[in-house]
Amino acid sequence: MNNRIYLCLAHMSGQEQKYIKEAFDTNWVVPLGPNVNGFEEDLKQFVESGTDGNIMDWATLQGKEVVALSAGTAAVHLSLIALGVQAGDEVICQSFTFCASCNPIKYLGATPVFVDSEPETWNMDPTLLEEAIKGRMEKTGRKPKAIVVVYLYGMPAKIDDIRAIAQKYDIPLVEDAAEGFGSRYKGRVCGTFGEYGVLSFNGNKMITTSGGGALICPDKEAKQNVMFYATQARESYPYYQHEQIGYNYRMSNICAGIGRGQMTVLDAHINHHKKLAALYAQLFAEIPGITFHSNPSAEIDSNYWLNTITLAPELHVKGEEKAYTTRIQGAVGGAAGVTHSASSTHTDCEPNNNVEAMRIALDVAGIESRPLWKPMHLQPVYKGCPSYVNGVSESLFKVGLCLPSGPYVSEEDATHIVTVIKQQIK
């Protein structure tokens, strides 16, 4: 690590080497093996934890099973396949999210129907969800095939209300808890309220397998079905017989070994993120014009995967007159993968000048930050898709900023970050 303060990096515990060594020593360097089985069992035990003594919750969670996969995106894709989503179907998806929540809908030739957020949790608005269901039924004569709700930045959605509407119209619910691993609603682990729950173990998540994900399934039969599609849909003949299209989506035994080691530090990581959040909240409470996004009620318990703030439009920041004057040529901050050079300095919807000026100032100070997710209904690739909006996600996108939050970020770092932010305010 250098002196730069990164947005979010998972922290290795030292236990990972033990499981990785076992994999090499026993020659299990494939997408199956003891570590995969062990990691799935560790995840299953975590999923079953924290039911606050509710017997119905406990009984429901006892039946849950977990499949370790190559990515959280693969988990979203397989959940939709398991629910029978096909070309021509519609799937309701939260608009305020990363593209991995909705891209798999398009993989299947289905159409995403985007639903905006409510202002407390920043997640899917239950009232707007019901409006979208009624609207699509009136428009197409059919119900949407599934609902994908997201736990944005780790913050639990109003899942009781959302689940009640899903049950009212008999539409299966998928929880994208990729950012919410370890978050809880009324004491119950996020990802366990719907038919399927999606987890991610990318390098920037609460724990990591370097890359990877998992799908929480309702029962053993569903798990077997998901595993079938995740291993190229091979039929049980002595030769390769394929009657369905399958995918190479299983997690490797090496990556699962990393995951098993990471599970030993999961609670410590969650506690660290929460401790940082409490400190950020305390420090920002003293700065007019900046609001820290925190749990809106006692029943919601975020893991604070990423700590986020909003800057009031009237808050002026040094250098904001120079915001968006330079066309960006490559990836910003720690963004992974290959990017196209920006074709212009502006798009039709972007963060306010004071937010961009603050991001640049932090970057110059060696502090990585990033705007909130740009809502999917505003993305050019999804132009023309149905959307039910109230302006919440667009307004948040214009004023929001994500701050360093990972295990490598110390309390001293957080205090320094807030100090730098204060120094940039005019």
Share of the chain above pLDDT 90, in %: 81
> How far is it, in rounded angstroms, from Cα 166 to Cα 144?
10
| pLDDT of residue 292 exceeding 90 | yes
Tell me if 239 sits within 8 A of 86, measured CB to CB.
no
pLDDT value of position 53? 47
Would you place residue 101 in the very low, low, confident or very high pLDDT band (cuts 50, 70, 90)?
very high
Weakest mean pLDDT among 15-29, 82-96, 320-334, 350-364: 15-29
pTM, 2 dp: 0.93
| pLDDT of residue 334 exceeding 60 | no
> How far is it, in rounded angstroms, from Cα 221 to Cα 47?
18
Reference 335, options 381, 375, 368, 378; nearest CA is 368
What pLDDT, in 10s, does the model give residues 137-167? 999 999 999 999 999 999 999 999 999 999 9
What pLDDT, in 10s, does the model give residues 182-225? 999 999 999 999 999 999 999 889 999 988 999 999 999 999 99
Helix/strand/coil for 349: coil
pLDDT value of position 14? 74
Structural domains of the chain, ranges and CATH numbers in brackets: 16-265 (3.40.640.10), 267-424 (3.90.1150.10)
What pLDDT, in 10s, does the model give residues 367-381? 999 999 999 999 999
> How far is it, in rounded angstroms, from Cα 243 to Cα 230?
14
Share of the chain above pLDDT 70, in %: 93
What pLDDT, in 10s, does the model give residues 105-114? 999 999 999 9
Would you place residue 63 in the very low, low, confident or very high pLDDT band (cuts 50, 70, 90)?
confident
pLDDT value of position 343? 77
pLDDT value of position 62? 77
Would you place residue 54 in the very low, low, confident or very high pLDDT band (cuts 50, 70, 90)?
low
Would you place residue 2 in the very low, low, confident or very high pLDDT band (cuts 50, 70, 90)?
low
| pLDDT of residue 174 exceeding 80 | yes
Would you place residue 327 in the very low, low, confident or very high pLDDT band (cuts 50, 70, 90)?
confident
Going from the C-alpha of 384 to that of each of 112, 202, 379, 380, 391, the distances in angstroms are 10, 31, 10, 9, 17
| pLDDT of residue 18 exceeding 90 | no
Beta partners for 69? 213, 250
Tell me if 22 sits within 8 A of 258, measured CB to CB.
no
Would you place residue 412 in the very low, low, confident or very high pLDDT band (cuts 50, 70, 90)?
very high
Highest mean pLDDT out of 260-264, 337-341, 396-400: 396-400
Tell me if 353 sits within 8 A of 321, measured CB to CB.
yes
Helical spans, DSSP H, in 63-141: 72-82, 103-107, 126-140
Going from the C-alpha of 276 to that of each of 22, 152, 210, the distances in angstroms are 35, 18, 24
